[in-house]
Chains A and B, each alone.
Chain A
């Protein structure tokens, strides 16, 4: 069966520090991968999605970036965090663009 792992679960970082969040999927090949952010009291915002290795689509201009160095690995990064980057970050995967979407447990990021 397929599983998705996302870490860390919580993170507190000072403004201006770098960020690296990692997500891996097991039990499937060439999945579509997604990074979402959920700010307090707000809906899910799609940040990046990837349909294959090295293929990244960005939905929102910001100081975040994403990379997919391996088929089932998706990394969210920032060189310098802003206060506004605080939120709940969720990784998700689907087999295709219209298959069921499955989420990881999320990372709670607090930028201080």
Chain B
């Protein structure tokens, strides 16, 4: 069974810093990996989807990388802003199911 882990569980940074969130998975036979953002009391918003054939995917200040062989993905956030404060989750599909990490709670301090 696929297991997804996210480290750290919580992160607090001053505004303007660049930061990296980590996601690891145990079964490298994945089609893609998806990063989500969740604001308190809200549903999940998709940020980036990176296909297994890709190594990187970029959207604005966000950059996701994927290393299938080592079972790792990172989400890089450049020039963090207070509006980036949220919980970030990664998910991998296996079969017809999606396996989620427990998320990283990010606080960006003005």
Contact = CB atoms under 8 A, between A and B. Distances in A.
- Same assembly: yes
B49 interface: yes
Given A43-B102, A101-B91, A90 B96 contact: no
A104 interface: yes
Interface string B76-110: 00000000000001010101111011110000000
A40 B45 CA distance: 19
Contacts, number: 53
B42 interface: yes
Contacts of A94: 93, 98
B31 A46 contact: no
Contacts of B43: 6, 90, 103-106
A41 B9 CA distance: 11
B98 to A, nearest CB: 5
11 contacts: A43-B103, A44-B89, A49-B96, A94-B93, A97-B95, A98-B31, A98-B32, A100-B46, A102-B46, A105-B42, A106-B42
Given A97-B96, A101-B46, 19 more contacts: A42-B102, A43-B89, A43-B100, A43-B103, A44-B100, A46-B97, A46-B98, A94-B93, A94-B98, A100-B34, A100-B46, A100-B49, A101-B34, A101-B93, A101-B98, A103-B36, A103-B43, A103-B44, A105-B42
Interface of B: 31-32, 34, 36, 41-46, 49, 89, 91, 93, 95-98, 100-103
